[in-house]
Amino acid sequence: MKNNFSGLKEQLLSAIFPKGGSCAGCGRILFHEDILCDKCSNDLPEAEFFCERCGRLIREKGVCAGCVDGISKWDMAYCLYEYSFPADEMIINMKYHSKPYLSEYLGRKLGEMLKKKVKEKEFDVITFIPSAAERLSERGYNQAELLAEEVGKVMNIPVRTLIGTEDTPHQVGLAAAERYKNARDRFSFVESGDISKMKIILIDDVMTTGATMAAASEVLRENGCEYILAATVAQTLSEVVKEGDV
Ligand SMILES: [Zn+2]
Ligand SMILES: [Zn+2]
């Protein structure tokens, strides 16, 4: 009797006071859902085409432009979503609106997806793209590190800080080649241990031009790492180079 009563009370309370706050996609108030409203959950953009060499999301079947111009310096890339609505809003909320609980949710999903994709391969370490010190102090957390922690828990792989950063101007507005050079100049290897022959999962929230991921991959490669899996929550669609042009 007591149980029935408290169940009823809970139902009434949850009808009056939404438990989940607002939808991380469209911002609508949530009643029974956790992170996204039902509509946004159904609208999550799933990737369709992948570069056959590096795994980047592409507009149509073929090889991505990054593989041709040398930006795709990782061995394989995986992501959960294409970077469009509502995945983009979720990431913006995670990054800029003090909603780090979203990184817990998205990190777990990313880890579960990776576990299915790479079960035959053994990875030694998970690491992440560092955040500039200035932005870290503004925000209080590095979302890539939070994502990496969750992926590490799901996959049971240790997370280590391997790459450090110097403060340099924001990347926004720069072309891919400039972004790559900018990122390459500010990234450095900060691990004293040996990573030679290691297979590493490198985590970031979003891949757009791929320049940041490329620069970080290069740092790991220069220090002897054998295989790099670039994992992000989302990627923008990359241009395709048609077969005859490669
Ligand atoms: Zn929504
Ligand atoms: Zn590619």
Instruction: For residue 38, report the distance from its CA to the centre of ligand 2, in Å.
Output: 33
pTM of the model: 0.86
Instruction: For residue 66, report the distance from its CA to the centre of ligand 2, in Å.
Output: 6
| 157-185 pLDDT per residue, tens | 999 999 998 866 666 677 777 888 888 88
Q: Hey, what CATH topology would domain 44-245 get?
A: Rossmann fold (3.40.50)
Ligand nearest, relative to CA of residue 36: 1
Task: Enumerate the domain spans of the chain.
Answer: 1-43, 44-245
Checking phi first, is residue 83 left (phi over 0); if not, alpha (psi -120 to 50) or beta? Answer: beta
Bridge-based pairing state of the strands 57-58 and 49-50: antiparallel
Instruction: For residue 150, report the distance from its CA to the centre of ligand 2, in Å.
Output: 27
Please check the confidence at residue 20 and state whether its pLDDT lies above 60: no
Model confidence at 2, in pLDDT bands (50, 70, 90)? very low
| 41-99 pLDDT per residue, tens | 999 988 789 999 999 999 999 999 999 989 999 999 999 999 999 999 999 999 887 77
Instruction: For residue 40, report the distance from its CA to the centre of ligand 1, in Å.
Output: 4
Residue written as token pair 């297979």: 199
